[in-house]
Structure 1
């Protein structure tokens, strides 16, 4: 929880006048320091990564909702994977953009043009914010463009378009790309629901990206074993066994 010491604040907004407005307002509020500025969600995450292990890491992010490359809501979700995520105050020019959904004690929002008194109130709320309360934002987010990997206290962003398959192993999901594997703690069922148009479930523990499935063929591990259907994938040597329940996919794709 944040105390009454000086707050290190990062401003994330794609519009320079909006960033300048916030910087000017913060200059009139005691115990605040603008640590840095970002023009989009990806730039914000890179900035936060660089400051995570420093004594002047970000306490609060003033985060615009609509930004190019990565919007504010997705960036907020990725930030919550950090061991010590900053508190977040959303900013928006759209009074009909899910405002009621953000009107809670856990997360505040500022409607542009932002007033000094409103910003002061929001900062006080953010001081008491606990990270777990941001989980309420998840159902409101549009489909993510990236998966976030927490690796050694840093956020690594893996584009969904680079993911070849997702495999559940114990409490982790292996994320396979052409270059390497990553581990995340998410539900395979939730990932299947979120990216239903991009991935196909080949068996109970594995989703394969449609764009990387080359085709299907029958193989056996040795000459005495029964042949099984497997999916052949681009860019990786491994194949994925197709369960009996999912073999209707093979018929659909071979007609």
Structure 2
């Protein structure tokens, strides 16, 4: 890692005193690892807002934060064309911290020490984390899936709130996420989405998952309809979703529950 070119660093922590401490530590090690703090954020959503406008080499991020936590933030960053490195800071050691020791990702236990921070920064550059692995780790830490999905559109990183998605539909290599307002193309697999959000989404068809709250009813397909055994009716949008013969009984039972 070059020692003369300062690293651009973003500090992400919901505690202002924790960010202040990191600033001070970066000042303490500036002779060995020059760095410029280009921004501060109190959670993952605020961090992504900053990253849309500011180039960053390293994100120093707390793990447990309100809104969007550090692991979900890192999973979105991992999908960027040129993702910054992420170093987690955490006060918790009651889960498998070793899971974060993934080349480009280091972790620092609070209170962070100057020499430990220096050692983490000196690991750069390194291989970036795999977003799907971070998603799996995140489910263990927060007890559920992500709050947002990310997609790239005309060079921008867009966030899609999971609770606004009415359905997912697979088509070739992409998955479409439909909200009331519009569609988003995701670089995700339908199987992974089904596993991550099993509590919210129901399988209707080999290519379709529907949000349980979005279901309004069902109608039987015509006898000559080769596309579906039946159709699911949705709240808020006019589209109908195909239901396979295999999923028909379970889907109807779900609506009656």
TM over 0.5: yes
What is the rounded CA distance, in whole Å, between the counterparts of 2:118 and 2:61 in structure 1?
Answer: 15
Cα 1:171/1:133, change in 2 over 3 Å: closer
Cα 1:135/1:202, change in 2 over 3 Å: closer
Match in the other structure for 1:130: 127
TM-score (norm 1): 0.90
Residue 8 of structure 2: SS of its match in structure 1? strand
Deviations 1:85-129 (Å, cap 9, x if unpaired)?
10000000112232222234431111111111111101111x222
What is the rounded CA distance, in whole Å, between the counterparts of 1:178 and 1:188 in structure 2?
Answer: 20
The count of aligned residue pairs is 245
What is the rounded CA distance, in whole Å, between the counterparts of 1:132 and 1:93 in structure 2?
Answer: 22
- In the alignment, is the contact (CA less than 8 A) between 1:192 and 1:199 conserved in 2? yes
Match in the other structure for 2:15: 15
TM-score (norm 2): 0.89
What is the rounded CA distance, in whole Å, between the counterparts of 1:207 and 1:242 in structure 2?
Answer: 10
What is the rounded CA distance, in whole Å, between the counterparts of 1:183 and 1:134 in structure 2?
Answer: 17
Compare 132-141 and 165-174 and name the one that shifted more: 132-141
Residue 131 of structure 1: SS of its match in structure 2? coil
Match in the other structure for 1:160: 162
Structure 2: which 5+ runs fail to align? 140-144
- In the alignment, is the contact (CA less than 8 A) between 1:107 and 1:134 conserved in 2? no
Deviations 1:194-236 (Å, cap 9, x if unpaired)?
111111111110001100000101244xxx8459421000111
What is the rounded CA distance, in whole Å, between the counterparts of 1:39 and 1:121 in structure 2?
Answer: 25
What is the rounded CA distance, in whole Å, between the counterparts of 1:83 and 1:105 in structure 2?
Answer: 18
Match in the other structure for 2:115: 117
- In the alignment, is the contact (CA less than 8 A) between 1:82 and 1:153 conserved in 2? no
What is the rounded CA distance, in whole Å, between the counterparts of 1:174 and 1:107 in structure 2?
Answer: 30
Mapped pair 1:239 → 2:237? no
Q: 1:40 aligns with which of 40, 43, 56?
A: 43
Cα 1:169/1:134, change in 2 over 3 Å: closer
Compare 11-20 and 128-137 and name the one that shifted more: 128-137
Match in the other structure for 1:65: 63
What is the rounded CA distance, in whole Å, between the counterparts of 1:238 and 1:174 in structure 2?
Answer: 13
RMSD across aligned C-alpha pairs, in angstroms?
1.9
Compare 172-181 and 102-111 and name the one that shifted more: 102-111
Match in the other structure for 2:93: 95
Instruction: Give the drift of 1:138.
Output: 3.3
Cα 1:41/1:251, change in 2 over 3 Å: closer
What is the rounded CA distance, in whole Å, between the counterparts of 2:182 and 2:58 in structure 1?
Answer: 33
Match in the other structure for 1:54: none
Compare 167-176 and 99-108 and name the one that shifted more: 99-108
What is the rounded CA distance, in whole Å, between the counterparts of 2:240 and 2:102 in structure 1?
Answer: 47
What is the rounded CA distance, in whole Å, between the counterparts of 1:213 and 1:104 in structure 2?
Answer: 40
What is the rounded CA distance, in whole Å, between the counterparts of 1:25 and 1:44 in structure 2?
Answer: 20
